[in-house]
Each structure stands twice: as C-alpha cells, then as structure tokens.
C-alpha cells in the first residue's frame, strides 16, 4: 500500500518559500513486515541451526589374521580393558585377567572420579604434555597445525596406555559413547572397540558371585 | 482542520526500519539453515565432548531407534535411485521408473526389499505412517543392510558413513551394525552425538 500525500503547507509558512507544494511519498511497510515475520517463523521452526557433533572412530578390521595370540600380546603389555556392562556399570582390568581372583576385575563408574580418574592417572605423562601444548597454543607460540601434529605424536607415543573397550549386549549406546568420550578427555590415542569374549562374561559373573565361580572350579 | 491533520500523522509508525530488520533476519536464516530431515523415529543422540562437525555432503546416515530398527538416508537423490536399482538387481527385483522416482523423494528409507514394491505404491502420507514399523533387516541370515551399504558405497565411493543412534539403544544392535560394516571393510565412520561441555580436571 503506497500513498501519495499532498501537503500544501498547512498553516505553516516556510522560509524561502521556493517550493509551493511538497509531495511526500509514503509507503506503508506493515504488510511487508508481517510477511517477513511469517517467513522468519517458518525458517526458525523448520531448520536445525546447530549441526550435530560427530565422533570419528576407526574400527579394527575383521581380519582373521589377527589371532588370539596377538590379542594376548597386547593384553600382556598392560593394556587396560574396559568392560561396559548393563545398568550403567563399568568394569576394568589391566593386563591379563586373573581368573582365580575375582578382585582383578574392578567396578568403576562413568563419573569423573570413576574411570576417568583411573585413566588420567595411567596417562599422566601424556596429559601433562598435552596441557603444556594447549597452554602454548593459547599464548600463540605454536600454530594449530603444529599443535595437532604434536598432540597426535604424544598420543601415539610409547608408554601411553592401550585401552580395549568391550561392551556387553545389555550396555546402551550411551555407555559406548561415554567410554569413547573418556578416551578423548584422557587423551588416550590407542584404543579399540572389541567384541566381548566368554572370558569377560565369566569374569563379570565371578565378580558378581564374589569369586564363588572360580572357587568352584578350583575344587 | 489543521489540528486534526497533525494528530493523524503522528499515529503512523514508519515500518521501513522494522522491515529492514526482518529482511536481514530472514536472509540470515535462509543462508545458515539446513532443513531438518523428516525422520520416521525420534532419536535422542548421546552427548559427547567431541567437537568435530559433520561434513555437509556425501553422508550416508544410519538411523537406529531404541528398539533396534535400522533406517538409512542419503543426501543425493541420484545415489538413492541408483542404489535402489542395484539392490533390486541383487534380489532379482526390478523397479519401474515411476517407483524409482517415488523412492528418491523419500528422505529416509528402511523397508525390507520384499515389501518395497507395495510400500512404494502407497501414498506419501501413508508411507510415513507405515515406515516406523519397518526397518532394514540386519540379522545374519538376511542382512539387507549390508547389501545396501555395499551397493551405495560402490555407486558413490566418497560416501561417509555416519551412525545416529538413540542413547538407549542396546549395544547388541550397534554391534550388529558395526560388524556388518567391518565385514565390508568400512572401518572408518562417524558417530553422531550432541554437544556436551565437560573437560578434564
């Protein structure tokens, strides 16, 4: 709706008085605003502004060449095995499990003082190094590219723990993501998601029965 | 007379500035927005500290609902059409042009290939209703999911696989999907998560 308004000066007298008639063109923008608001509402409701986050993982191949001996070799080198059980509980053991002693399997939690504290303790060296690097990056001493390169070097370095994540069928997807999250928080570069073996199931059962299973088999 | 005229003039608000603002906002929303895909099941992704953003194109997303139903979606319509064709070939089913055209319009699919023909014959609104009851079979006897992935990857090797699963999905289902992917030597993929703010102390 546009409107042409003629203003003949009304009662006011103008100085100079060169123009006798002033024509003001006034366009009413109200419907335009209405329409725009409608469109904005539509776009706001129909869009997802924040793109979802993602986690990149590399899985081991299903190669049959990786035998149980290889797995044992990794285990023997003091790898940490996390067993995600149902009901939001998490167990862990280091190195080869002791099937006779049910206490070799330890119960932990997803809370900050649970598995994270343990992993951070095991990975202190790398965590400290990476924190130093972060400090340097904040002070702009090193570039982003240098930072990522050095971080991956530290993560893959010798002496950093290897973590094997095994999830029971009852564990939820959230448990898995939480466990993977801990890897990131604790700066662990070498971790793998593996299938649950009967050994872990046995260990868990033994733990729940407080060693009765192993005692029975020893007799 | 002149008094009345002045009074009428003062009630009018100039909407030009307002219009400017709304147009600006509108432009912003139009440029930044990506449309929400219609998903047959509601999925709440678990939160993680990961800050990597998902790439925009060439995504093959796998949607897993809490009950373990698996759906898939691809962002390119040509890929969708071609993979339907080759999966159909694999199972000895040929689809007409019409059916293929209908299929490519669907944002998410998850129908056993045997029921695909009857599904595609349905109207769009009916399709939405039915879809949530189906899901791509992932069991080891009839692993159609594996075939879908295999064919899609063959058609577009640049596809990135992204898994979007509900946080309460039992690990068993995830394991099936992951081992199918492992069998296909797809060892790199993304897990879609929501943002969580937490850092190591």
Residues A110, A165 within the same domain: yes
* Residue-number span of the structural domain to which B14 is assigned: 2-32
Interchain proximity A185–B200, CB inside 8 Å: yes
Determine the residue of chain B that is closest to A58 in CA distance: B188
The pLDDT of residue A45 is 84
Residue B38 located in a structural domain: no
Query: Looking at the partner chain, which of B18, B196, B198 has a beta carbon nearest the beta carbon of A33?
Result: B18
Count of the separate structural domains present in chain A = 2
Please check whether residue A48 lies inside any domain of the structure.
Answer: no
Contacts of B192 in chain A (CB under 8 A): 52-55
pLDDT tens, residue by residue, A160-181: 778 888 888 888 888 888 888 8
pLDDT of residue A73: 66
B201 within domain boundaries: no
Among A30, A48, A170, beta carbon nearest to B170: A170
Do B74 and B26 sit in the same domain of this protein? no
Say whether residue B33 is in contact with chain A using an 8 A CB cutoff.
yes
Q: How confident is the model at residue A2 (pLDDT cuts 50, 70, 90)?
A: very low
Q: Lowest-confidence range among A128-132, B8-12, B23-27, B142-146?
A: B8-12
pTM of the model: 0.72
Q: Are B44 and B60 in contact (CB under 8 A)?
A: no
Q: Pick the residue with more confidence: A212 or A140? A: A140
B142 shares a domain with B181: yes
Q: Are residues A74 and A115 in the same domain?
A: yes
d(CA B176, CA A200): 19
CB < 8 Å to B199, chain A? 185
Which chain B residues are closer than 8 Å to A57 by Cβ?
A: 188-191
Asked if B129 and B172 sit in the same domain, the reply is yes
Give yes or no: residues B18 and B60 share one domain: no
Q: What is the 3-state secondary structure (H, E, C) of A40-75?
A: HHHHHHHECCCCCEEEEEECCCCCCCCCHHHHHHHH
Residues B23, B51, single domain; the answer is no
Tokens standing for residue A26: 């006034």
The answer to whether residue B200 sits within a structural domain is: no
Contacts of A40 in chain B (CB under 8 A): 22, 25-26, 29
Only one residue has tokens 């044992």, namely A72
> For B79-102, what is each residue's pLDDT tens digit?
888 888 888 888 888 888 888 888
Q: What is the DSSP letter of A114?
A: I
pLDDT value of residue B27:
92
| Domain that residue A19 falls in | 2-41
Q: Mean pLDDT lowest for which of A17-26, B15-24, B149-158, B172-181?
A: A17-26
Sign of CA dihedral B198, A179, B176, B162: positive
What does the pLDDT look like over A101-120, one tens digit per residue?
A: 777 777 888 777 788 888 88
Find the CATH number of the domain harbouring A167.
3.30.420.270
Same-domain pairing of A32 and A92: no
Instruction: Specify whether A79 is located in the same domain as A177.
Output: yes
Its ipTM equals 0.72
What is the mean predicted confidence (pLDDT) over A69-78? 64
Residue B177 CB contacts under 8 Å (≥ 6 apart), including other chains: B62, B64, B70, B138, B145, B163
- Residue A11 belongs to a domain: yes
CB contact under 8 A, B26 and A51: no
A75: closest CA of chain B, how far (Å) = 22
- Kindly determine whether residue A32 and residue B179, on different chains, have CB atoms separated by under 8 Å: no
**Burial status of residue A84 (CB atoms within 10 A of its CB: 0-12, 13-18, 19 or more):** buried
A31, A97: one domain: no
Number of domains composing chain B: 2
One domain, residues A115 and A169: yes
């Amino acid at each position: 709706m546009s409107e042409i308004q003629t203003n003949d000066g009304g009662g006011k007298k103008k100085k100079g008085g060169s123009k006798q008639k002033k024509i003001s063109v006034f366009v009413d923008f109200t419907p335009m605003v209405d329409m725009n608001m409608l469109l904005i509402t539509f776009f706001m409701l129909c869009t997802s502004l924040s793109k979802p986050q993602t986690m990149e993982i590399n899985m081991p191949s299903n190669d049959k060449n990786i035998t149980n001996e290889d797995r044992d070799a990794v285990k023997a080198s003091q790898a940490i095995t996390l067993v995600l059980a149902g009901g939001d509980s998490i167990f862990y053991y280091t190195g080869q499990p002791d099937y006779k002693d049910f206490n070799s399997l330890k119960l932990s939690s997803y809370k900050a003082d649970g598995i994270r504290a343990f992993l951070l303790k095991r990975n202190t060296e790398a965590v400290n190094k990476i924190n130093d690097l972060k400090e340097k990056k904040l002070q702009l001493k090193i570039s982003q590219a240098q930072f990522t390169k050095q971080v991956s070097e530290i993560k893959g370095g010798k002496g950093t723990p290897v973590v094997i994540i095994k999830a029971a069928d009852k564990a939820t997807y959230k448990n898995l993501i939480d466990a993977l999250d801990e890897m990131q928080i604790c700066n662990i570069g070498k971790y793998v998601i593996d299938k649950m073996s009967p050994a872990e199931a046995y260990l868990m059962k033994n733990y729940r029965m407080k060693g009765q299973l192993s005692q029975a088999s020893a007799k | 007379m002149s008094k009345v005229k002045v009074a009428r003039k003062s009630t009018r608000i100039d909407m030009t500035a307002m219009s400017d603002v709304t147009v600006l906002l509108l432009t912003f929303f139009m440029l930044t927005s990506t449309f929400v895909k219609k998903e047959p099941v509601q999925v709440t992704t678990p939160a993680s500290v990961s800050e990597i953003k998902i790439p925009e194109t060439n995504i093959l997303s796998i949607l897993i609902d809490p009950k373990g139903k698996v759906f898939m979606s691809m962002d390119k319509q040509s890929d969708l059409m071609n993979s339907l064709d080759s999966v159909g070939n694999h199972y000895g089913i040929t689809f007409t042009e019409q059916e293929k055209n209908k299929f490519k319009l669907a944002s998410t699919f998850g129908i056993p290939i045997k029921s695909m023909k009857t599904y595609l014959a349905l109207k769009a609104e009916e399709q939405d209703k039915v879809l949530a009851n189906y899901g791509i079979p992932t069991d080891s006897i009839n692993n159609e999911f594996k075939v879908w992935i295999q064919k899609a990857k063959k058609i577009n090797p640049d596809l990135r696989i992204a898994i979007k699963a509900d946080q309460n999905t039992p690990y068993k289902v995830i394991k099936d999907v992951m081992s199918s992917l492992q069998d296909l030597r797809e060892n790199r993929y993304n897990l879609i998560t929501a943002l969580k703010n937490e850092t190591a102390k």
